[in-house]
Amino acid sequence: MPKKKRNYFYLAPKEELAMKVLWDTDEALSASAIAERIPDRSWPASSIQSILRGLEEKGAIKVDAITKLGKSYGRLFRPMLSADDYATMQFERYYQNGKANCFSLMSSLLGNTNAEKEEVIDALHALLDEYEKK
């Protein structure tokens, strides 16, 4: 079954921080738990609600459950896409319609921006060979 094509969206820096927290756990998290887990957060925890609303509107997260949190009820959130899916989305958007040279990206990913075509091909073959062994 072919994978459903997602609408492209960009994560603002604070949204990306919240998504990284969700990507790094298997459990659904409350807004306060997400805010608490953001390392070196310099903004007030109360602004996490607007960040999560934006992520919901983009389809990046969903409400997984509503549960009792302390004396009131709150929502628990889960990501709707993985970090790899988001990276792929950015890649597809940037490299669509042949706007950029995919060869230069591959050489950058392999750690050598000055690589010759043959070097990139050899490195990709080595990666494929390693992948087949697993």
pTM, to two decimals:
0.74
Contact 60, 79 (CB under 8 A): yes
Fold of the CATH domain 13-79: Arc Repressor Mutant, subunit A (1.10.10)
Of residues 39 and 105, more confidence is placed in 39
Q: For the segment 80-127, what is each residue's pLDDT rounded down to a tens digit?
A: 999 999 988 888 777 766 555 666 667 777 776 676 778 777 878 888
Contact 112, 104 (CB under 8 A): no
What are the extents of the domains in the chain? Answer: 13-79, 83-133
Q: For the segment 50-59, what is each residue's pLDDT rounded down to a tens digit?
A: 999 999 999 9
